[in-house]
Structures are given as C-alpha cells and as structure tokens.
C-alpha cells in the first residue's frame, strides 16, 4: 500500500480507536509521536461529548483537533473551530416524541454539559462513560441556558429497532443518525462527521487523496466517503464495510494502530 500522500488521519472513537473498556492504547500514543514527526495531522471524531474525548487525550489535547457530538462541535487546542446548533424550536417536540417510547433514555447535549432527567442508576453508570460533564434535571424541555448540539437517545437493546422507526419522520427537518448499537442522535442537518471533515480538509488544505479515515458505525459513513484511505473495523456495521475501501482488525485488536504503524513505516 502506498501511503506516501497521507497528510491527515481521522478516527472515530467508540468501536474504533477505543477498546471495549473505552481506553486508548499506549501503542497509539507511541505511533502518534511518529505522526507528528512526519507532519501528519490527527483528528479524533466522535459522537461523544467534547469533555469525554479530551479525557482520553489529556497529554496531547492541545496538539490535536477534536470533533465532538457527531460533527456539531470542533476544537483545535483551545481554539473553537465551528459549531452546528440544534434549532431550539425542535427540541421540545423531539424530547416529547422520545418520551412516548418505552425504555428510551434521553440526553440533551449542550456545550457546557449534557442533561438527563432519568434517575435510573444502570443508565447513569453507563452514560457517565460518554459524558464527563452532566446535570440531572427535572425537565429537559425547561433547560435554556446552554448551546445545544444534539439530542441523544439510548436503548439497552437496540436503537435501530426500538428508536429509529419512531423518529424517522423527523429526517425532513433534522439529521437522524443511528450512531451505535444502542445510541441514536438527532441534530442539525450539518451536524455530521462528513460535514465537519470537509470543513477541516479545506481549512488545512488537505485533499481526499491525502486523507485516512477509520470508522465502525453509520455516523462514520459520510466522513469515510471523504477519504481515499477509508478503513472499516472488523467489528463494523455492514454499511461501513460496504462504504470503506479497506478493512483492518477490530478495536480490541488495535486495528487502527496496526494501519498507522504501516503508515509510519512507509515513510522511513
């Protein structure tokens, strides 16, 4: 494989760079230092909250670009690059639609914090893995003092089966993405990883031919389409395996790191 043109590496987090324990490997940080030496930029792009992503990259957070909330918010170090806010007039309607469903947990994702109204301990324990800054409130529809990026909905069984059919009709106004086995996100139409990556490619002056992307789920499809070097994880959703040009090992087998080491070795 000829990696000589690659100038930008973009990776999803959950199911991709993170292992099943939500950890970034030491192996990644070693290869990241080599990416820096070869002037290859790195972007972490996730449906996660910004603060949760930063927690995984504490030592290099000022050097990398972070795309959070499925493309709705991006930072490079301390510089805010862009936001795509969820129109406030849609928020209450979305929340009430989701409230009508059984066993669905709702997260209102803001710039300052994520907001939940459930007191279910099993959900909160899981939820805190994805959201470092959060508030427990009585009524999500009454929260106004923040900038909102998306509404995330969670089902312990399957979001594609139990949530998506009930909110599919919202796609004519907003973006509805099944972002994981259990998660579904509702956001502004521009709040996707592909839109975010396109902005960043233009900002950095980097082309599709110079971009490498890794992903595992449907919220990665649009950014995978913007890279000549697009990789599906072994554990990826079938849609991702169809779109991606190449494949690698699973997240628990450090599939991202394997390809990045090949990238670095090709430069020696």
Kindly report, residue by residue over 254-268, the tens digit of the pLDDT: 999 999 999 999 986
* Range 101-109 average pLDDT: 97
The tens digit of pLDDT for each residue in 42-92 reads 999 999 999 999 999 999 999 999 999 999 999 999 999 999 999 888 999
pLDDT confidence of residue 190? 86
What is the average pLDDT across 113-142?
95
Contact 31, 257 (CB under 8 A): yes
CATH of domain 88-187: 3.30.1240.10
Strand partners, 133: none
Q: Do domains 8-83+191-265 and 88-187 have the same CATH topology?
A: no
pLDDT (mean) for 182-186: 95
Provide the CB-side half-sphere exposure for 200 (13 A, CA). Answer: 34
User: Does residue 241 contact residue 40 with C-beta atoms inside 8 Å?
Assistant: no
Does residue 13 have a pLDDT over 90?
A: yes
Give percent of the chain above pLDDT 70. 100
Rounded to a whole number of angstroms, the CA Rg of the chain reads: 18
Domain 8-83+191-265 CATH (choose: 3.30.70.270, 3.30.200.20, 3.40.50.1000, 3.30.1360.10): 3.40.50.1000
Kindly state the average pLDDT of the residues 167-184. Answer: 92
Show me where the domains of the chain are located.
8-83+191-265, 88-187
Partners of 152 in the β-ladder: 107, 185
Average pLDDT in the chain: 95
- The reported pLDDT for the residue numbered 246 is 98
- Determine the pLDDT at residue 89: 86
Mean pLDDT for 183-199 is 94
Q: Is residue 61 within a helix (H) or strand (E), and if so which, with residue range?
A: none
């Amino acid at each position: 494989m000829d990696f000589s043109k690659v100038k930008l590496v973009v990776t999803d987090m959950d199911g991709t760079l993170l292992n099943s324990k939500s950890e970034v490997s030491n192996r990644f940080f070693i290869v990241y230092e080599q990416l820096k030496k070869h002037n290859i930029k790195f972007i972490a792009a996730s449906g996660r909250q910004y603060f949760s992503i930063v927690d995984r990259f504490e030592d290099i957070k000022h050097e990398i670009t972070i795309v959070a909330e499925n493309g709705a918010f991006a930072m490079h170090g301390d510089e805010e690059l862009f936001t795509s806010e969820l129109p406030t007039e849609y928020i209450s309607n979305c929340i009430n639609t989701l409230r009508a469903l059984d066993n669905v947990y709702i997260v209102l994702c803001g710039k300052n914090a994520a907001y939940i109204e459930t007191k279910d301990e099993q959900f909160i324990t899981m939820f805190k893995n994805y959201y470092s800054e959060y508030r427990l409130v009585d009524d999500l529809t009454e929260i106004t003092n923040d900038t909102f990026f998306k509404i995330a909905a969670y089902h312990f069984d399957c979001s594609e089966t139990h949530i998506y059919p009930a909110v599919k009709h919202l796609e004519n106004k907003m973006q509805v993405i099944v972002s994981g086995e259990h998660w579904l996100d509702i956001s502004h139409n521009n709040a996707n990883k592909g839109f975010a990556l396109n902005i960043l490619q233009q900002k950095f002056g980097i082309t599709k031919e110079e971009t490498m992307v890794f992903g595992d789920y449907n919220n990665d499809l649009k950014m995978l389409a913007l890279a000549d070097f697009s990789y599906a994880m072994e554990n990826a959703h079938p849609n991702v395996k169809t779109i991606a040009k190449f494949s690698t090992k699973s997240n628990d087998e450090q599939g991202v790191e394997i390809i990045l080491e090949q990238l670095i070795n090709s430069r020696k």
